[in-house]
Structure 1
Amino acid sequence: MNPIKANIPNSITCINLLAGCLAIITAFHGNNLLWGMPAYLWAYIFIAIGAIADFLDGFAARALHAYSNLGKELDSLSDLVTFGVAPGIIVFNLMSGWTEALQWLPWTALLIPVAGAIRLARFNIDTRQTTSFIGMPIPANAIFWIGYTATFMNGADSLFSSFVFLPVLLIECWLMNSPLRMFSLKFKNLKLKDNAPRFILVAAAIAFCATLGVGGLMWLIIFYIGLSILFRG
C-alpha cells in the first residue's frame, strides 16, 4: 500500500492527540479568560475536536483498508490523553479553584485517567469488543465529565461536594471497566430496525443539549447507560 495512503488514518489520530494536549493546557487556566472566553470552555472544544478526529480516523481506516497494529496502539494512546487525562485535569483545576473544596478532594480526579488507561488496555486485548463495548467507552467518560463540570459552573455547587462527587467518580471509573455491554455508535446502515438505540440516542442528544446546554451531556451519558441496559448492548 502507498505509504501516504497507509498513514492518513494515523495522521488524523495525531490530530486527536494534539487536541487532547491543547485541552490539558487550556484546562490549567481554569475559569480564567483565554482568547475571549473561559479557558475551560476551550478545553471542551479541544476535546470535541479530538472526538471528531477519533471518529474520522476509524472511518478513514475502514474506507482505505489501512488497518495496522501501530494505528490501533496510537489510537488508544491518543484516546487516553484526550478522553482520560484531559477531563481529569479539567475536573482537578475547576475543583481546585472552588474555595469550598476540601484540599485533598481535587486530587481524586486523577482516578479518571487511571481508570481510562485500564479500560483502554483491556479493550486492546479483548477480542469480543468488535460490534459493541464491554464497559463504558472512554469518549463517553469525557462527555460525561464535560457535562458534569458545565453543570457545576452553571451553579450546581453540590456536584463538587465530597458526598456527591466521590460516589459519582467511583461509579464512572467502575463503569469503564465493568461487564456492562454498551452498544456502539457505528451505523452499518440506516435501517431503523438495526439502529433503533442509535437513533434514539441521537434524538436524546439534541433534546438534552437544546434544553440544558452543555450540561445536558451529563444526562445524555446517563441515558446512554440506561439505553444500553434496555437494549443489552
Structure 2
Amino acid sequence: MQIKKHIPNAITLLNLSTGLLAIIAIFRGYFDEAFIFVCLGIFLDFWDGFLARKFNVAGPLGVQLDSLADMVTCGVVPGLMMFRLFEDIQQTQPEYMLTEETFYMGFVPYLGFLITIASCYRLANFNIDTRQTDSFIGLPTPANALVIMSIPMIQYANDFEILTAVLYNPYVLLVITLISAYILNAEIPLFSLKIKEFTWAKYKMQILFLIGSLLSFFILGFVAIPLIIISYVLVSIISNKMTSKA
C-alpha cells in the first residue's frame, strides 16, 4: 500500500522532468524534441490522476504537485517556445531584424511569456474553483500547450505552404499569443477530456472526440492539432447550449 501511495506522485515528477527536458531542447534549437517531451508530459499528466483515483490515494499533495509540474511542462515551455519563434523570425527575416528604427521589435519576443503568465493564473485558479471538478472553464493548459508546440512542427512539415508562410509572421504569432492567454482563463465551460473510468455510457463524448482526434492527426498531421483544439471548444459550446435548452 505504501508503494501505491507514491506511484501517482512519482509519475507527476516524471511529468515535471519531461518539461525540464523540453526547456533544454528549446534552448538548443531542437523544437521537435521539445514537442515530443511535452506530449510525453501530457500523457503522464493523465495517468497520475487516473492512478491516484484508482489506488484511492488522491490527496492535497498530489493536487499541488500536479499543478506545479503542469506549470513547467504546459506553462513555461510553451511561453519559451513562443519567445524562440519570435526570435527566430527576427534573426532570419530581414524585414523584422532589429535596427535603430525598429528597436521596439526587441520587446516583441518577451510577449510570448504572456502564455506562461496566463497559464500560471489558470492553474492557481483551477485548484480553488469548485466549478471545475468534473469539467473545465477556459482551455486547459495541456491543450493550449499542444497548440503552441505544434507551430514549429507545422513549419517543419511544410505540408501546407500557405499556412507555413502565415506562421512565420510575427504579427500572426502575436495574435495567437493573445488568444492563447485569453482563452486559458475565459469563462467558457468545456467538457473534461480526463476519463476517470472506462465506461462508454458516461464518457461516450470524450471517447468519440479522442477517436476523431486521432483520425484527424493521422490524416492531416500536425495541422490537425490546432483544428482539434478549436473543435474541442466548439463542441463544448454546442453541447452546453443543447443542455441548457433541454
State the TM-score, normalized to the length of structure 1: 0.88
Instruction: Return closer, same or farther for 1:94/1:170 CA change in 2, 3 Å cut-off.
Output: closer
Instruction: Return closer, same or farther for 1:149/1:204 CA change in 2, 3 Å cut-off.
Output: farther
3-state DSSP of counterpart to 1:7: helix
Alignment of 1:106 with 2:109, yes or no, is yes
Distance in 2 (alpha carbons) for counterparts of 1:148 and 1:228: 24
Which residue of structure 1 aligns with residue 102 of structure 2?
none
3-state DSSP of counterpart to 2:131: coil
Query: RMSD across aligned C-alpha pairs, in angstroms?
Result: 1.8
Alignment of 1:228 with 2:236, yes or no, is yes
How far off is 1:160 after superposition?
Answer: 3.9
Which residue of structure 1 aligns with residue 7 of structure 2?
8
How far off is 1:147 after superposition?
Answer: 2.2
Q: Tell me if the contact between 2:138 and 2:183 (Cα under 8 Å) persists in the aligned partners.
A: yes
Q: Tell me if the contact between 2:46 and 2:194 (Cα under 8 Å) persists in the aligned partners.
A: no
- Unmatched tracts of structure 2, length 5 or more: 97-104
Give the one of 156, 165, 175 matched to 1:167.
175
Give the one of 62, 67, 71 matched to 1:76.
67
Distance in 2 (alpha carbons) for counterparts of 1:94 and 1:174: 20
Q: Tell me if the contact between 2:35 and 2:150 (Cα under 8 Å) persists in the aligned partners.
A: no
Mapping 1:203-214, distance limit 5 Å: 203-214=211-222
Distance in 2 (alpha carbons) for counterparts of 1:6 and 1:190: 25
Which residue of structure 2 aligns with residue 91 of structure 1?
82
- Unmatched tracts of structure 1, length 5 or more: 31-38
Report the structure number with the largest CA radius of gyration.
2
Q: Tell me if the contact between 1:135 and 1:179 (Cα under 8 Å) persists in the aligned partners.
A: yes
Count, aligned residues: 223
Bigger fraction of residues in helix:
2
Q: Tell me if the contact between 2:154 and 2:223 (Cα under 8 Å) persists in the aligned partners.
A: yes
Distance in 2 (alpha carbons) for counterparts of 1:152 and 1:127: 39
Instruction: Return closer, same or farther for 1:148/1:208 CA change in 2, 3 Å cut-off.
Output: farther
**Per-residue deviation, residues 95-150 of structure 1 (Å, max 9, x unmatched):** 31222354332221111111000000000111111110011110001111122332
Q: Tell me if the contact between 1:146 and 1:214 (Cα under 8 Å) persists in the aligned partners.
A: no
Q: Tell me if the contact between 1:83 and 1:138 (Cα under 8 Å) persists in the aligned partners.
A: yes
Distance in 2 (alpha carbons) for counterparts of 1:212 and 1:146: 16
Q: Tell me if the contact between 1:149 and 1:215 (Cα under 8 Å) persists in the aligned partners.
A: no
**Per-residue deviation, residues 204-233 of structure 1 (Å, max 9, x unmatched):** 312321222123211111111111111129
Q: Tell me if the contact between 2:25 and 2:31 (Cα under 8 Å) persists in the aligned partners.
A: yes
Distance in 2 (alpha carbons) for counterparts of 1:74 and 1:195: 26
